[in-house]
């Protein structure tokens, strides 16, 4: 200290310097102690080694500087050129050091200290920080300050200030000027170091907490509302603790609202699903409604158009449902609809789709199903409906089937064809299903459907009249019904389709309706008829044909007109023979003869089935068509047709509910 300025050797300054030194050492020691509390044994060992290495570097750098400047001081004391050169170099070094130190200190005072401490904290940036890093940091700061200066400021700092210092040196002397400059810098540097160490604890805790806050904020922004900031080391900083508390409160509120929103969203989703499900179902039967049926059909046809598969749909219309409502009331009508829906659900496959299209009309989608397979399912449904009518009676339907893409290539046409086929089934006797055939099924217009409903009412009225005729003749009320069922069964056994079989049923049902135009005494007469009475009897086929025509069944009126023609030409009204007699007429003649022979009459008892078959076979080729006789005989022998009751259960036929 002998070469130091005199004021630095004074007692007050020395005491102040030692106090500052002890304070710096105490702060460093405390930081080291707190670091040991938070570090593991391995981390503490590594930290101590790093600190020792840094201290060693500091000693080496300091020693090197003392050697350098000590050597220069020795050379400056020498005489001659060497002493002068050493004096110049020493002055230049002191000047450069003073200049750089001044710029660095100015840079630090221009920026808040806690912004610059990041580089001194290894845990925040890098694994270690040495003397060379500090020198580079100082150089970078000086360069940054110089880069931020305006040109005029750079001229003043790097040009005018050095010249002014040289001017001062010229008057006051080099040594005194350098001592004053370095002493001023030393004071500023000590003030800066004290400020840095004083503020060291604040930014270190703040930065750690702020980093936690930033991470939590990012997690919350990313949707993790369960993120919270810990309260560690916030007791000393009231504002920081309040900030942490506010952030956690905000997160809890957001999480609570998010949970409420999720609960409301879930409830809304469930309500929406329920309403969508409710909107797609028929409230009475629980089946899908017409809108859902059409949407599902559109999706199924789209699938088939891509896969090349086929899809069949069926439309079924309950027979005589209006009569159910009119006779038994709408409550019983609703019960019939529910039982029909249950029958559909019970019979269909899991992947088939039944729907109520409206009123008494239902629809079914059969994915990847041929029309023949769909018809088999429809027949099973008809069997299940055996007790679905009022008072456990049979409920029948008229069904129509169409297949994509075989019958139609678009949705609307496909549905129209199936619907038209169901009306064709209804027009031809009901109680069966018709597969669309362009040769037999035309697109039924609304006018045709109105006519069909009117015809149904007329047929129902005619059926009532037929039952009256049967009662007058002494057959009870089942004769015409039995003739219709036997005729239908014969047609099916001969290989004809359902449409023809249903027409035969109607023909057999209505064949004697014209007897209502005869005198009641003549109908009930048990003895032999006179010639005049016989002529009256021969008129009833024509009357029957006229009534059938008026009922809208002109296609079977001709069969009714000639149902008393004999195969050998001895019958009436025209005496037709052989194949000139309509096939329907020949079938009804055989069916009626069998039922009459096997039913009790006022003048005789019923014959056995064997006796009746023998009688039919004796008349084959004369009164009866032999092929039809043999067909009926086979049906009786196999039990498909029974005596005094017509066809066996499960046969084709029509019954009004």
Residue 39 has pLDDT above 60, yes or no: no
Would you state the pLDDT for residue 524? 58
Of 590, 569, 595, the residue nearest 581 (C-alpha) = 569
Residue 3 has pLDDT above 60, yes or no: no
Residue 542 has pLDDT above 60, yes or no: yes
Instruction: Compute φ and ψ for 442, nearest 5 degrees.
Output: -105, 160
* CATH number given to 283-443: 3.30.70.270
Residue 119 has pLDDT above 50, yes or no: no
CA distance 193 to 55: 17
pLDDT band at 1 (very low <50, low <70, confident <90, very high): very low
Q: In which residue ranges of the chain is CATH 3.30.70.270 found?
A: 283-443
Of 298, 292, 296, 303, the residue nearest 411 (C-alpha) = 298
Residue 131 has pLDDT above 50, yes or no: yes
Residue 5 has pLDDT above 50, yes or no: no
Would you state the pLDDT for residue 231? 61
Helices (H), 348-409: 371-384
pLDDT band at 645 (very low <50, low <70, confident <90, very high): very low
Residue 470 has pLDDT above 70, yes or no: no
Residue 575 has pLDDT above 70, yes or no: yes
pLDDT band at 625 (very low <50, low <70, confident <90, very high): very high
Task: Tell me the range of 91-95, 258-262, 407-411 where mean pLDDT is highest.
Answer: 407-411
Q: 445-657: what fold?
A: Hypothetical protein af1432 (1.10.3210)
Residues 6+ apart with CB under 8 A from 279: 289, 291
Would you state the pLDDT for residue 324? 81
630-642 pLDDT, tens per residue? 999 999 888 888 7
- Segment 335-360 shows an average pLDDT of 89
Residues 6+ apart with CB under 8 A from 261: none
Of 586, 565, 584, the residue nearest 428 (C-alpha) = 584
Residue 117 has pLDDT above 50, yes or no: no
Residue 312 has pLDDT above 90, yes or no: yes
Of 322, 294, 529, the residue nearest 414 (C-alpha) = 294
Would you state the pLDDT for residue 104? 65
410-465 pLDDT, tens per residue? 998 999 899 888 888 887 777 889 899 887 766 555 455 555 555 565 566 666 67
Q: In which residue ranges of the chain is CATH 1.10.3210.10 found?
A: 445-657
Would you state the pLDDT for residue 638? 87
CA 436 to chain centre: 35
- Segment 578-587 shows an average pLDDT of 92
pLDDT band at 654 (very low <50, low <70, confident <90, very high): very low
Task: Tell me the range of 132-141, 249-258, 308-317 where mean pLDDT is highest.
Answer: 308-317
Would you state the pLDDT for residue 123? 40
Task: Tell me the range of 158-172, 177-191, 419-433 where mean pLDDT is highest.
Answer: 419-433
Would you state the pLDDT for residue 373? 92
């Amino acid at each position: 200290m002998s070469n130091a300025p005199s004021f630095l050797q004074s007692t007050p300054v020395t005491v102040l310097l030692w106090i500052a030194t002890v304070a710096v050492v105490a702060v460093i020691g405390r930081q080291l102690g707190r670091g040991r509390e938070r570090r593991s044994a391995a981390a503490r060992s590594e930290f101590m080694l790093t600190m020792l290495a840094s201290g060693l570097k500091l000693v080496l750098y300091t020693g090197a500087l003392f050697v350098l400047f000590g050597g220069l001081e020795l050379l400056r004391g020498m005489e001659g050129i060497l002493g002068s050169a050493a004096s110049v170099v020493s002055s230049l070094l002191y000047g450069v050091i003073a200049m750089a130190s001044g710029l660095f200190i100015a840079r630090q005072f221009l920026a808040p200290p806690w912004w610059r401490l990041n580089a001194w904290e290894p845990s925040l940036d890098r694994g270690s920080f040495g003397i060379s890093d500090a020198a580079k940091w100082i150089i970078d700061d000086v360069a940054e300050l110089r880069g931020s200066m305006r040109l005029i400021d750079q001229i003043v700092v790097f040009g005018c200030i050095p010249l002014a210092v040289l001017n001062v040196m010229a008057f006051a002397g080099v040594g005194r000027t350098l001592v004053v400059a370095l002493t001023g810098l030393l004071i500023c540097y000590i003030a800066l170091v004290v400020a840095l160490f004083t503020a060291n604890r604040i930014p270190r805790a703040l930065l750690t907490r702020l980093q936690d806050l930033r991470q939590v904020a990012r997690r919350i922004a990313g949707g993790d509302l369960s993120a919270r900031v810990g309260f560690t080391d916030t007791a000393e900083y009231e504002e920081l603790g309040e900030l942490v508390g506010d952030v956690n409160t905000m997160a809890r509120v957001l999480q609570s609202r998010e949970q409420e929103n999720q609960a409301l969203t879930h409830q809304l989703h469930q309500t929406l699903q329920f309403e969508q499900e409710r909107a797609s179902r028929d409230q009475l039967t629980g089946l899908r409604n017409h809108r859902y049926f059409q949407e599902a059909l559109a999706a199924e046809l789209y699938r088939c158009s891509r896969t090349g598969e086929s899809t069949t749909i069926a439309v079924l219309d309950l027979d005589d449902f209006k009569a159910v409502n009119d006779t038994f009331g709408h409550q019983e009508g609703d019960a019939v609809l529910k039982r029909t829906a249950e029958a559909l659900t019970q019979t269909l496959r899991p992947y088939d789709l039944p729907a109520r299209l409206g009123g008494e009309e239902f629809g079914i989608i059969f994915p990847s199903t041929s029309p023949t397979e769909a018809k088999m399912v429809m027949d099973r449904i008809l069997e299940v409906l055996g007790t679905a009518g009022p008072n456990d009676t049979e409920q029948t339907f008229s069904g129509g089937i169409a297949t994509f893409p075989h019958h139609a290539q678009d949705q609307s046409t496909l549905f129209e064809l199936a619907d038209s086929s169901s009306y064709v089934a209804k027009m031809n006797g009901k109680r069966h299903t018709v597969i669309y055939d362009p040769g037999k099924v035309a697109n039924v217009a609304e006018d045709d459907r109105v006519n069909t409903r009117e015809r149904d009412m007329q047929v129902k009225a005619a059926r009532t009249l037929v039952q009256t005729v049967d009662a007058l003749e002494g057959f009870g009320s089942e004769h015409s019904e039995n003739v219709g069922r036997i005729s239908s069964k014969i047609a099916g056994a001969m290989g004809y389709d359902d449409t023809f079989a249903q027409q035969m049923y109607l023909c057999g049902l209505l064949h004697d309706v014209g007897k209502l135009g005869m005198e009641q005494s003549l109908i009930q007469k048990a003895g032999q008829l006179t010639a005049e009475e016989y002529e009256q009897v021969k008129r009833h086929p024509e009357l029957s044909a006229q009534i059938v025509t008026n009922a809208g069944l002109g296609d079977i009126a001709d069969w009714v007109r000639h149902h008393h023609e004999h195969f050998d030409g001895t019958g009436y009204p025209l005496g037709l023979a052989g194949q000139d007699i309509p096939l329907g007429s020949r079938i009804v003649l055989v069916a009626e003869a069998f039922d009459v022979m096997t039913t009790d009459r006022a003048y005789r008892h019923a014959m056995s089935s064997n006796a009746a078959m023998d009688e039919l076979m004796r008349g084959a080729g004369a009164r009866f068509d032999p092929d039809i006789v043999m067909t009926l005989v086979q049906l009786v022998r196999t039990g498909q047709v029974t005596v005094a009751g017509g066809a066996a259960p499960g046969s084709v036929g029509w019954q009004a509910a």
